[in-house]
Structure 1
Amino acid sequence: MSANSKISQASCWVVTDGSAGMEIQCIGLAEALRLDFKVKKIRTTKPWRWLPPHLWINPLKSLDKRGDLLEPPWPDVLISCGRQSIPLNLAIKKANGDKTFTIHIQTPNCDAGSFDLVIVPEHDKLRGENVLVCLGALGRITPEKLREAGEKFAPQVAHLNSPLVAVLVGGSNGCYDMTEEVMRDLAQKLEALHEDTGCNYLVTTSRRTGSENEAILKSALKGVPHQLWTGEGENPYFGYLALADALIVTGDSVNMVCEACSMGKPVHIFELPGGNAKFNHFHQSMREKGYTRPFLGKLERWEYPPLLETQKIAHEVEKILKKHFSK
C-alpha cells in the first residue's frame, strides 16, 4: 500500500479540552489533511490538571468521566492543542508503542522532541527540527467554504447596502479587557463610520463579549442598517467574511484576526487595553506584512494575498506523514 493510501485511510483523533480556539485549529489541520478524524473533548481531574506533564503519574487514568475517555484502539495520527492535552498525547504514543504519529499545536510546556511534530505560531519562540512555524493560528477556513457560505447567506443580507463591513467582536480574556467604556468607544466609532461612508454592518459577538457589552452595541446600531448575530440560530460567520467589503476586528483573538485575513480584504484592528509580548509581536508582524491596519474610525483600502496558513502547513505535514507511512 502506498504512503498516500495509508494517509487517506489513517485514523485520527483531535484531542483538546473543548476550548473553541484550540479545537478549531486541530480540526482545521485534520480537514486540510483530509483525515477521517474523531473529536475527543477531555476533562482532567485534580490535582493533575494543575501539574506539568512530567508529573502526571497515569494520564489516561486522570480523565473525568464527564469528558471523553481515551481508550484503544489507538489512532494512527493524534492532533492535540492546549496544556491539558499534552500528557495524554504523550501517554497514547507510549501506550501504542510509538506507532501513533503525534502532532501538538502551540508551544508545549515540555520537551518538544517528545512529539513527532510541533506546530507553533511565529510569535512563539520555539524552533527545532520537528517544529513547523505558521503565521498566526490555524483554522477551518478554505476558499471553497467561504464561497459556499457567501452564496448561502447572500439572500439574508440582500437588504443591506455597500460597503458592507463585517465587525468581529471578541471580549475580555487573560490579556485584554473589553470594558463597557471600551465597547461604547467602538460603538461610537461604528456610528460615526456609518454617517461618514453610509456603510452597513454584519456583526458577530462571542461568548466573551458579555450581555452588557452586547446591549451597548445593539443600542448604538438601532439606527444603522445591520445584521447582528449573538449566538442564536445558524452561525453566519463564514458568510459574513465572504460577503464583507472590509472588516473591523477586536484584537483579543489571534484566531479571529487570521480568519479575517483569509479573504485578502482590508482588516482593521480595534485595539483593546492590555496585551502581552506575544500578542504585541503578532499584531506588529501582521501590520508589517500588510495584512492589518489599526482601526482609527476610518475605512482604508489596500490589498494583500489571502492568508491561508492552514493549507500551507498541511502541505508540509503531508510530506512528513508520507515519509512516516512509507517506513
Structure 2
Amino acid sequence: MHIVYVSDGKAGHRSQAVGLYKAMQRQSNIEVTFQEISIQELPIFSLLKAIWARRFALFEKKPDYIFGVGSHTQARVLLLGRVYPKAKTVIMMKPNFPVNWFDYAIIPQHDRVKESMHVITTQGALNPIVNENRHQPNRILIALGGNSKRHQWNDEKVLSSIQRLVENNVHATFILTTSRRTPDTFLETLAQQNFYSKLQIFPVEHTPQGWVFEEMQKAEAVWVTEDSVSMIFEALTAGCKVGIIKINRLKEDRITCSIDQIIQSNLVSDQTFIEMLVEPHAFKEAERVATYLLAQ
C-alpha cells in the first residue's frame, strides 16, 4: 500500500498526515509506504497534462491513498485523484470544495460538519503520538503558547497560574517550555519570581525536534495554555492528565468553544492540583480513523 502526501511545508500539517500514515502502518497486514511531495513540485498545468497520461513521473509507484492538509493542497489532491482514479483522496480539514469531491474529509468536530460517507469527524487534529506508558509520577510539563488571532497573552495571568501550580503541587518536578509565539520578554519576567527556582526551563529555541513529544511520554500531567489547541490533543494522545491554563480571549469562536466543550466533557480540567485532574482517557483518534479507512 502506497500513500502520497501532498505537502505545503507546514510542520503542523505534516504531523497530521504522518499520524494517520503511522496508524495505518501499525494496523495493516501488508507493507505501507509513504512519499512526501511538495506542492512546488506539483504545478497545476503539469497535473492537468498527467490526467491524460494516467501517471505522474515523480511518484515512486501508484498511490493507493493521496493525503492533503492545508488549503493550497486541495486542488492538487483532487487533480491527482483524476490522474490515479483508483486511489482514495483524503483531505484532513474542512475543504473549500464540496466534501463529496474527495473520497474522505477528516474534519475536527469544532468545524461543525456533519459526519457522512465522505466525512469523518475527530476530536482535534490527528498527530503521530502513541502512548508509550512511560509516565513518571509527579512529573509536570508546562507548555506555553502566546498571542494568536483569538487570544492575547497576559504576563500577570500566566505567572499567577504557574505560581498556583508550583504551590499546589509541592512534590512535583516542573519542566517548562515556551513556543515561538511566547513573548520574548516573558522568561526574563519569570526569572524574577520567587518560585522560579522550582522550574526547569527549556526555551523552544533550545529544544530539538521531537523534544516536546518525548517530554509528554515522561510527564504524568501537562498544563497547556488554552491557545495551543493542537498541543492539548497531543498531550491527551500521549496518555497524560491535561490541565488548561486560561489566558485572555479576544473573541469567542468555534475554537474557543471547543476548549470549553472539552473541559465540560471531562477530557481536560482547569484545576491546578494534579490529583484533581481528569484521569487519562484512551485517546486514539488516528487509530480510529485508520481503522475506518482500512475497513472500506
Query: TM-score scaled to structure 2, two decimals?
Result: 0.81
Structure-2 separation of matches of 1:42 and 1:216: 42
1:294 paired to 2:270: yes
CA contact (8 A) 2:242 2:277 kept: no
CA contact (8 A) 2:269 2:277 kept: no
Q: Deviations over 1:224-246 (max 9, x none)?
A: 24242423243421232122232
Structure 1 runs, 4 residues or longer, greater than 6 Å off: none
Report the number of matched residues: 276
User: Could you say which residue in structure 1 is the equivalent of 2:147?
Assistant: 172
User: Could you say which residue in structure 1 is the equivalent of 2:52?
Assistant: none
Cα 1:196/1:285, change in 2 over 3 Å: closer
Where do 1:46-85 residues align within 5 Å?
Answer: 58=45, 60=47, 71-72=58-59, 75-85=63-73
Alpha-carbon distance, 1:40 to partner: 2.8
CA contact (8 A) 2:104 2:118 kept: yes
Where do 1:1-327 residues align within 5 Å?
Answer: 10-34=1-25, 35-43=32-40, 58=45, 60=47, 71-72=58-59, 75-96=63-84, 98-127=85-114, 128-144=116-132, 147=134, 163-178=138-153, 182-198=154-170, 199-220=172-193, 222-234=196-208, 235-272=210-247, 273-295=249-271, 297-299=272-274, 300-320=276-296
Structure-1 separation of matches of 2:164 and 2:263: 24
Alpha-carbon distance, 1:264 to partner: 4.4
Cα 1:42/1:204, change in 2 over 3 Å: farther
CA contact (8 A) 1:60 1:70 kept: no
What percentage of residue pairs aligned between the two structures are identical?
Answer: 22
CA contact (8 A) 1:184 1:217 kept: no
Alpha-carbon distance, 1:282 to partner: 1.5
Structure-1 separation of matches of 2:38 and 2:189: 34
Cα 1:225/1:208, change in 2 over 3 Å: closer
CA contact (8 A) 1:59 1:88 kept: no
Question: Helix, strand or coil: the match of 2:261?
Answer: helix
CA contact (8 A) 1:264 1:303 kept: no
Alpha-carbon distance, 1:304 to partner: 4.4
Structure-2 separation of matches of 1:79 and 1:282: 25
Cα 1:215/1:314, change in 2 over 3 Å: farther
Question: Helix, strand or coil: the match of 1:163?
Answer: strand
CA contact (8 A) 1:82 1:106 kept: yes
Cα 1:22/1:70, change in 2 over 3 Å: farther
Structure-2 separation of matches of 1:131 and 1:11: 22
User: Could you say which residue in structure 1 is the equivalent of 2:29?
Assistant: none
CA contact (8 A) 2:138 2:173 kept: yes
Structure-2 separation of matches of 1:281 and 1:93: 35
Q: Give unpaired runs (5+ residues) of structure 2.
A: 26-31, 49-55
Question: Helix, strand or coil: the match of 2:197?
Answer: coil
CA contact (8 A) 2:94 2:105 kept: yes
Structure-1 separation of matches of 2:168 and 2:103: 53
Q: Deviations over 1:89-124 (max 9, x none)?
A: 11111223x132110011101111111111111112
Alpha-carbon distance, 1:298 to partner: 4.5
Query: TM-score scaled to structure 1, two decimals?
Result: 0.74
Cα 1:318/1:307, change in 2 over 3 Å: same
CA contact (8 A) 1:59 1:87 kept: no
